[in-house]
A and B are shown apart, each in its own frame.
Chain A
């Protein structure tokens, strides 16, 4: 996607998102603020995955783990009466980064299907760990008594404030993401996806760069998790269930991987679709499944791909 078009699309998207709370208040439907906060949180998770999946070719099938680590960081600290947002978010970032480092250090020595399976397995390991530790609720989950406190600067008790905090972080991560993928570091990651053999031949020690990307991605997702904990005031192992990881991947593909903006659109599309379908039928997953199948088989480049294709056909190239 050309730079100017991407910038325009991004700005339009962010402005639209910023308008949601106003529209929501106007129509007297506060539910949409919640829905879109949730959508934006998953947009952050999806874009963090796109960094390593879409640009780096690392099919990490355990990304929801970092969502959980971030959420539990908030939950567990709150459990012990520590409600300072800076500390909670700090732990969310630190813990996610550390776990990503450990998992990446082992997994990145493998490739292909082994890599996929080993990331999945580690994700399961952490899932089962959280299920079996009863102190923090185990399978039933953990209630969080209050929102993260940011020294009276930001009051997250107000849903609209939380909304704008999430929007701000989404915008920030999108910008950071755009910079990273065009930087020298980004070129190494993308080169490794394109032709790892050649990268080694021209002199790049790609492992250390891929591991770094893995850690950055995990940390970003951890922030999303901390935000999620603030949205729901509840955290349970189901956040880290492997089907969650699958869903995040679906958002990335649906929107168009390797574009950062695509996954954001994908998150919107997926969750809106889920919301829409589930109000029509309780069996919405029976519809979603085939839709996903269809997208993978016939529209692999996702929403961004369709948009780019349509432009080319109308001669705008």
Chain B
């Protein structure tokens, strides 16, 4: 097996008096889909932000593919193969869906000090971008501005942008946020497909999705890990049920 693809040890972050992340440790081998669950305000997004490089932890180590990445800025981590999607959709609203993805492809296609050829018709970008849109079932909306996409389509675009950077590890922050049952089911199918080729860290509230997809689950409460393990074990875990899933009173 060797070293895990992502190894987090003792991650800690304070915001003034608030301890947002409390000695969080994770070990994620390549190919695993690792879910992080927990009540609202547990600090899940904060952990993702630290893994992605948006926030600097106060202490702790983050090793990706054996490399210490704690002091690397977000764009460098992206180059290393770490991609992230946002909980609140964060795309380029004025660009079309295709342009959005093409830009993500462009980020990993060498430098961008090219001033002459129009990017809109650059086949080196459009080819891979169209493929990605196909993968997330957005090919039909390629020419539409991102601003007019439906919520579910925007969430799919979110994932597509992360995919387009050719990552080894996907950090997905509530991809199904605000989705109805149909869209959610479609997203689960998509994630199941992606699972085959990528390592995924998934934050989600949709428990059906989590237990359907996850190989391993970590439960975060008040910034602390209270349990890590296989989905069934977590489901049965007493502390987890108390804190999050709802204690099952028998009798």
Contact = CB atoms under 8 A, between A and B. Distances in A.
A/B: CB atoms within 8 Å of each other:
yes
Interface of A: 179-180, 182-188, 190-191, 194-195, 197-206, 209, 212
A182 B125 CA distance: 14
A194 B94 contact: yes
Contacts of A190: 94-95
B116 A195 contact: no
B107 interface: yes
Given A200-B74, A201-B74, A201-B78, A191 B103 contact: yes
Interface residues of B, number: 39
Contacts of B78: 200-203
B5 interface: no
Majority DSSP secondary structure for residues of A touching B:
helix
Interface stretch (B84-92, B201-209, B231-239): B84-92
A16 to B, nearest CB: 27
A197 B161 CA distance: 13
A212 B99 CA distance: 22
B119 interface: yes
Interface of B: 52, 54, 73-76, 78-79, 83-84, 86, 90-95, 99, 102-104, 106-108, 112-120, 122, 125, 161-162, 164-165
B115 A201 contact: no
A195 B92 CA distance: 6
Given A184-B106, A202-B162, A202-B165, 13 more contacts: A179-B116, A183-B114, A184-B119, A184-B125, A191-B95, A194-B92, A197-B90, A201-B74, A202-B161, A203-B78, A204-B112, A205-B75, A209-B112
Chain B CB count within 10 A is highest, among A184, A188, A200, A212, for A184
A195 B90 contact: yes
B107 A195 contact: no
B108 A203 contact: yes
Contact of A184 (B74, B83, B91, B122): B122
A155 to B, nearest CB: 33
14 contacts: A183-B115, A183-B117, A184-B122, A185-B112, A187-B106, A194-B94, A194-B95, A200-B75, A201-B52, A201-B75, A203-B75, A203-B165, A204-B75, A205-B76
